[in-house]
């Protein structure tokens, strides 16, 4: 049985979870043996889907939960949280 790992992070980049950022996040999820979801309020989406991530319309300052389950769940949550906290490697 695997544990579910959850962490709350704040979207910090100026443009929020826009297409480029969503693509980076989705690609990153494929590097891990884990099912990763993003939760924002009542919305719960598959983090490996760029379209689903865009439907969240997460802007700067919004809090989201990263939820992962699977062998690499902890590593996946850490990596995704780092990506978000680093503003998706964007300048602002």
Query: What's domain 4-89's architecture?
Result: 2-Layer Sandwich (3.30)
Give this prediction's pTM.
0.93
Whether the CB-CB separation of 40 and 56 falls below 8 Å is answered with: yes
Assess contact for 40 and 58: CB atoms under 8 A.
yes
- Our answer to whether residue 44 is catalytic in this structure is no
**Catalytic option among 6, 7, 18, 20:** 18
> Please, what is the end-to-end C-alpha distance for the chain in angstroms?
40
**Whole-number Å distance between alpha carbons of 88 and 3:** 27
Domain edges within the chain: 4-89
- What pLDDT, in 10s, does the model give residues 7-62? 999 999 999 999 999 999 999 999 999 999 999 999 999 999 999 999 999 999 99
């Amino acid at each position: 049985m695997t544990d579910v790992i959850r962490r709350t992070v704040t979207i910090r980049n100026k443009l929020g979870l826009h297409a480029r950022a969503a693509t980076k996040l989705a690609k990153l999820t494929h590097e891990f043996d884990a099912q990763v979801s993003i939760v924002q309020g009542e919305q719960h989406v598959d983090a490996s889907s760029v379209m689903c991530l865009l439907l969240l319309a997460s802007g700067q300052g919004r809090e989201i939960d990263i939820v992962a389950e699977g062998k690499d769940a902890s590593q996946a949550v850490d990596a995704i949280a780092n990506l978000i906290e680093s503003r998706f490697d964007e300048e602002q």
